[in-house]
Chains A and B, each alone.
Chain A
Amino acid sequence: MTFSKSISRRTLLRGTGAALALPWLEAMAPKSVLANTPDDVLDGKAPVRMAVLYVPNGVHPDIWNPKEEGTDFELPMAMEPLADIRHKNLVLTNLWNQHSNTGDGHYVKTGGFLTGQTINKTVGVDLNSNGISMDQLAAREVEHLTPLPSLELGTEPVHSGVDGTVGYTRVYGAHISWKTPTSPLAKEIDPKLVYQRMFRASKQGTQAAADDRLLLDKVLSGAKSLRGRLGQEDRHRMDEYLESVRTVEARLAQLEQPGHAPWRARADIEKHDAPEGIPDAHAKHVQLMMDMIVLAFQTDTTRVTSFMFGNAVSNKDFAFLDGVKGAHHSLSHHQSEEDKLKQYNLISQWHVAQYAYLLKRLDAIQEGDATLLDNSMILFGSGLKDGQSHSPRDLPILLGGRGGGKINTGQHIRYEKNTPLTNLYVSMLNAFGRETEVFSDSTGALDGVLV
């Protein structure tokens, strides 16, 4: 990312709002091509996809909680961008993440958002989320069916340093997806690399793939004997390495397997050119990442994705929004000052607008009688409510899409105070096809979500 370029681009964007609004998907390929999914691949039922969008720094209750319940409720300020797509969205209030009601204001709420567990308090040693994240449980169910088991995306590299004041490593604040309690999943933040990764993963049966396998097999056999020579403590790391190599190997093996029903892209990924690296404008960056999610789901490169708008405590400068002059985390400590609140709220609304953008993109893609959105579930939320108080009660939670017709969208449901957020995870996992009775502190499925 170069700076001088950013200024000119910024100027350009200021001048022509249109440049920003033109989505990569449309700029790169006409919509008719995108919708042109091969018929034979569409035989049978379209798969269910799941994405989680995580927002740092919470939202203010005044602009979030709708007054009315049911289908006929007035959209609060933050949700205004959902007006056109509200019938495919669920607003769920009064859910809380009880195991994150401890520790500090941000890291516990972020690292534990999808696990429903309490992270170990540490600047490094014994890093542990004490749970597998909900998205990764879903991924386990279907990872053998697609080239990539899941995609973890974001916009910010993990912040450097440890937070000595609260006593947590910032690694916690940069990861919501946990493959195992001790293995967070690193995010990709460059849309170009995401695209290239999907592109390569979808390549089949080439000589390059055969060569890769040869290399990986060699490495795996050597590494196994090395593992035996390591001390007890170190084997865990070596296992992560082996798992990491095996994942690639397994994919290549699957693609090569003679007689194996080959994975087929549901849409042609090669219709697109790779996006340019990380744009300087945050809005453009986020939109490209949304486009990557659309592409991943549409092509069936993966069925599970998580995305972090920013890391915990993100101080992303939102001066690019009209009416905002400042950074996200600072403004979230609004001290109820009207001026700061107004800016904090505009930032929250902007995040919902990006979510709405994703929903609409997905909804524009036809899959048989339904749309891609109808076959997806998109969780949007934060691990805390008001950025001033950091409470994990009455969390801001939206669920978009119908999960393959299983989700009862178009309403606002207000639950009993302190209903576990993990009840929603139970419902989502079941809708996704992974039978689940209990998840962390859940007390059952969430009433009213499933059809």
Chain B
Amino acid sequence: MPSRLAIVLFAVVSCFAVSSLCAEEGVTRLHGLLAGHCNDCHQGNDAEAHLDMTKYNSVESVASSRDMWVKIRQRIETNEMPPEDGEPFSAEDRQWVLDWIDNSLRSTACGDGPQPGPSPLRRLNKNEYRATIRDLLKIHVDIGAELPEDGAGGSGFDNAAETLFLSPIHGEKYLDAAKAAISYAQRNQGSRDLILVRQPGDKSTEEEAAHDVLQRFATRAFRRPASEDEVEDLMRLYRQRMESGSSWDDSVFFTLQVVLISPDFLFRIEQPNLEEEPRLVSDHEMATRLSYFLWGTTPDRKLMHAADEGKLTDADSLREETIRLLKDGQSRGLAENFVGQWLGTRELGRQSQPDRELFKRYNQQMQDSFQEEPLLLFHEIFKNNESLLNLIDADYTFANDELARHYGIRDKLTENISQRMIKVKLPEDTVRGGILTMSGPLTVSSFPNRTSPVLRGKWLLENILGIVPPPPPPDVPELSEEGEDVAGKSVRERLQIHRDNPSCASCHNTIDPVGFGLENFDAIGRWREEDNGTKVDSAGKLPGGEAFTNPKELKQAVLRQKEKFVTLLTEKMLSYALGRGLVPSDYCAVEEITQRLAAHDYQTHQLVLGIVESVPFRYKASQAAPPTTDDSTVRSE
């Protein structure tokens, strides 16, 4: 039964292309499903929960009753509806309804105008914590390396509030890290100069000096002015230490430890908006949002100063600061945290480990350069306001001697190349340029010992075009009878067997031909003309039928579908910037930003400014209304 896969994939692949046509087909199917599964109870004046589903059955109804549809979706998703004594959806229908609601919520997101969406409390993730300690204390020991790794949520980033939970182990590690950091800072002259803004002496008493030191440090650590109450609270601990006989120096540094384990430091805390309407985030909250987005660390002195002066609630100054941060070398923090998770190259050396027997030249240094190359390209493009499309195809890349050899372009380079990764102009005749043909992505989408057009096709669809193929059926049909037939066949031939099976074919006919385009690259991204003695055939096609015969043409085909790529990247980066998964209303901002990009040659600064100036990034939603009873029952306990 090929049904579900075919339908879902068809819906995903073709509906996005011709949405109006699809919407009509969808509504017909929706009516049928609602009639069969919902309307028995949810119809007419005495409808259950006063929900008359016959009134909620069109894309327009989604536009006008978004909150209700979000609830309906939630009930279906959690299997609360239809109830046990009702008529359950088949798995396939259920997924289809959920997808239909999602798509309708997105396509109508701008109906109510842009909305801020939630801004949940979020702790610093491991990388943010490490960078923050480094910049706060100006120390160069890696404090925080012992914290547990953070998982990812939302669009796949580990700064998503919803998955940044805390275990008892965090308390222990924060305590240990604070002690280690402060002890190091106390002994380091650079840190002392930064922290001890006033010292007891002719002009200051010990009390006065301690007060100013604590006040200043807490302000920097909390990323907002520390209140007099907070400072006084710290002073009490300082005095206690003084009274117990500790020196001034020891007492002050001891007290600083409290700052580093307090929630005001460990969490990004924003004051809840208790007004009825969405409200601009405060200047200091904006400084924090901006800094963690673009640098992955705490605001620098200039940004804090701008916040102190109230400039970040002003659109022009905000834009100015955004560009300053972006052009600064510290924006490497964005590249480091964003690129590896977006492209999956963070898993190099973890889940992705090429077979070292087969690939003897693969080593730590090569792995580092695989990881570094896409990151450096991304950073360059974002610093210099180049086109986002350069990510797909560029006439330059970053390489060191080894990577250039790996790519077979070493002798054609004009640059003086060494161990260090530098920017190099690519020769005319190379297939390299852009992330699709970089060894990092090509390796993470391979098996340890061989390439997989399936994995590569899936990788490209998901991470470049934003098309997520549905999962294989839970019980993958066994291909045992073919076991003997496959011996000695090329990957392409073996996959042909796969695609001859109708229940596999519906999806793999879409996925595999994308991956074939990259078959000229082996499992660690080296160019090859032959695989297992057979000449490589890298012809294939993208969803929608656009054909190509080699990787160069594949890139061109992807570029012709640039709207999909740009939309995907916008979604990902907005989610990253907000530190949470996107909610349907965010797709209004996505649409505004992609339009802005199209009007400005896809310049990277337009993407970043589009995000920074968007309603979800600048505003916080009202938290005034207490949750209604209905809300609390929707949430499963």
Measured CB to CB, the residues of A under 8 A from B are 1-4, 7, 10, 104-105, 120-128, 130, 149, 152, 156-162, 164-166, 169-171, 174, 179, 181-190, 193, 197, 200, 211-212, 214-216, 218-219, 222-223, 226, 229-234, 237-238, 240-241, 243-248, 314-315, 317, 319, 325-327, 330, 333, 335-338, 388-391
* Distance of A12 Cα from B349 Cα, bound (Å): 20
Cβ A240 vs Cβ B165 within 8 A: yes
Shortest CB-to-CB span from B280 to chain A, Å, is: 17
Residue of B nearest to A184 (CB): B165
Which residues on the B side are within 8 Å of A161 (C-beta)?
A: 152, 156, 341, 344
Q: Is the CB of B237 within 8 A of A218?
A: yes
A161–B172 Cα gap in the complex (Å)?
Answer: 26
Determine whether the beta carbon of B349 is less than 8 Å from that of A326: no
* A244–B636 touching, CB < 8 Å: no
Q: With the chains together, A226 CA to B270 CA distance in Å?
A: 11
Note all chain B residues with C-beta closer than 8 A to A218: 233, 237, 258
Report the Cα distance A405→B65, complex, angstroms: 62
Smallest CB-CB separation from A329: which chain B residue? B351
| Cβ-defined contact, B349 with A159, below 8 A | no
A219 contacts which chain B residues (CB < 8 A)?
258, 261-263
Are A335 and B483 neighbours in the complex by a CB distance under 8 Å? Answer: yes
Contacts of B175 in A (CB 8 A): 212, 215-216, 248
Q: Which residues of A contact B567 (CB under 8 A)?
A: none
Given the known inter-chain contacts A222-B262, A226-B264, please indicate yes or no for A120 contacting B118, CB distance below 8 A. no
Q: What A residues does B154 contact at CB under 8 A?
A: 123-125, 162
Query: Could you tell me if B167 and A169 are in contact, using CB atoms closer than 8 angstroms?
Result: no
A165 CA to B12 CA, complexed, in Å: 12
The reply to whether B169 and A185 form a contact with Cβ atoms under 8 Å apart is yes
- 5 other A-B residue contacts (CB within 8 Å) besides A230-B269, A338-B483: A2-B364, A229-B271, A237-B165, A238-B267, A248-B168
Q: Within 8 Å CB of A156, what residues of B?
A: 350-351
Decide yes or no: A166 and B476 within 8 Å by CB, A124-B581, A319-B357 being known contacts. no
Q: Which residues of chain A are within 8 angstroms of B365 by Cβ–Cβ distance?
A: 3
| In the complex with contacts A233-B120, A326-B449, A162-B233 CB distance below 8 A | no
Tell me, in angstroms, the Cα distance from A316 to B93 when the chains sit together. 36
- Residues of chain B contacted by A184 (CB below 8 angstroms): 165, 167
Q: Determine how close the nearest CB of chain A comes to the CB of B256; give it in whole angstroms.
A: 10
Point out the residues of chain A lying under 8 angstroms from B271, CB to CB: 229
What 4 A-B pairs come out closest when comparing CB atoms? A124-B153, A3-B364, A171-B151, A234-B121
Taking a contact as CB atoms under 8 Å apart, the answer to whether A170 and B152 are in contact is yes
B608 in contact (CB, < 8 A): no
Taken together as a complex, chains A and B put the C-alpha atoms of A229 and B623 apart, in Å, by 12
Contact A327 B118 (CB under 8 A): no
* Most B Cβ at <10 Å: residue of A124, A181, A183, A338: A124
B602 → chain A closest CB, angstroms: 24
In Å, the complex CA distance between A279 and B176 comes to 23
Residues of B within 8 A of A10 (CB): 356
B149 an interface residue at 8 Å Cβ cutoff? yes
Q: How many inter-chain contacts with C-beta < 8 Å in the A-B complex?
A: 254
Query: B168–A149 contact, CB under 8 A?
Result: yes
Chain B count of residues within 8 A CB distance of the other chain: 92
- The reply to whether B151 and A170 form a contact with Cβ atoms under 8 Å apart is yes
Contact B483 A165 (CB under 8 A): no
**B447 contacts the other chain (CB 8 A):** yes
* A334–B164 alpha-carbon span in the complex (Å): 35
Q: How far is the CA of A215 from the CA of B150 in the complex (A)?
A: 25
Q: Are A336 and B257 in contact (CB under 8 A)?
A: no
Judge if B595 is at the interface, Cβ distance under 8 Å: no
Return B513 CB to nearest CB of chain A, in Å: 18
Subset of 27 A-B contacts with CB under 8 Å = A3-B349, A4-B363, A123-B581, A124-B153, A124-B160, A124-B162, A125-B154, A125-B580, A126-B635, A157-B148, A158-B150, A161-B341, A182-B165, A186-B165, A189-B149, A197-B169, A215-B258, A219-B262, A233-B120, A237-B120, A240-B166, A241-B170, A243-B166, A246-B171, A248-B171, A325-B449, A389-B475
Nearest CB of chain B from residue A55's CB, rounded to whole Å: 17
Within 8 A of A (CB), among B462-498: 462, 468-471, 474-476, 478-480, 483, 486
Closest residue of chain B to A2 (Cβ to Cβ) is: B364
- Is B483 a contact partner of A337 (Cβ separation < 8 A)? yes
Task: Please give me the residue from chain A that is nearest to B158 by CB atom.
Answer: A160
A155 to B546, CA, bound (A): 43
Give bound CA distance, A27 to B262, whole Å.
41
Given the known interface contacts A326-B447, A330-B447, the answer about A186 and B162 at a Cβ–Cβ threshold of 8 Å is: no
A159-B351, A171-B153 given as contacts; is B171 within 8 A of A244 (CB)? yes
Contacts of A240 in B (CB 8 A): 165-167
* Chain A residues near B174 (CB-CB < 8 A): 245
Q: A3 and B367: CB pair below 8 A? A: yes
Give the residue name and chain of the A residue nearest to B452 (CB).
A330
**Do the beta carbons of B152 and A3 come within 8 Å of each other?**
no
CA distance A292 to B225 in the complex (A): 45
Bound-state CA distance A169–B164 (Å) is 12
Distance in angstroms between the alpha carbons of A166 and B472 in the assembled complex: 9
Chain B nearest CB: distance from A163 CB in Å?
Answer: 9
Say yes or no for B618: interface residue by CB 8 A criterion: no
CA distance A174 to B151 in the complex (A): 8
B443 to chain A, nearest CB (A): 13
B residues less than 8 Å from A197 (CB atoms):
169, 172
Q: Are B344 and A130 in contact (CB under 8 A)?
A: no
**A241-B151 CB under 8 A given contacts A160-B341, A166-B471:** no
The answer to whether A169 and B483 have CB atoms under 8 Å apart is no
**Could you say which residues of chain A place their CB within 8 Å of the CB of B146?**
190, 193
Known: A165-B468, A241-B263, A319-B448. A104 touches B474 (CB 8 A): yes
Task: Tell me the complex Cα distance, A2–B353, Å.
Answer: 13
Question: How many Å lie between the Cα of A389 and that of B480 in the bound state?
Answer: 14
- The residues in B between 336 and 380 inclusive whose CB is less than 8 angstroms from any CB of A are 340-341, 344, 346-347, 349-351, 353, 355-357, 363-365, 367
Tell me whether B254 is interfacial, beta carbon within 8 Å: yes
A247 touches B171 (CB 8 A): yes
What residue in chain A is nearest B166 (Cβ atoms)? A240
The residues of A that contact B340 with a CB separation of less than 8 Å are 160
Tell whether, in the assembled complex, residue B447 and residue A165 are in contact, meaning their CB atoms are under 8 Å apart.
Answer: no
Tell me the smallest distance from the CB of A4 to a CB of chain B, in Å: 5
Find A165's partner among B233, B272, B469 (CB 8 Å cutoff).
B469
Q: In whole angstroms, how far apart are the Cα atoms of A121 and B74 in the complex?
A: 11
State whether B355 touches A319 (Cβ < 8 A): yes
Given contacts A179-B167, A248-B168, A327-B447, is CB(A222)–CB(B483) below 8 Å?
A: no
For chain B, residues 203 to 244, give those with C-beta under 8 angstroms from any C-beta of chain A: 230, 233, 237, 240
Complex alpha-carbon distance, A388 and B350, angstroms: 23
CA separation between A244 and B172, bound complex, in Å?
8
A162 x B156 contact (CB < 8 A):
yes
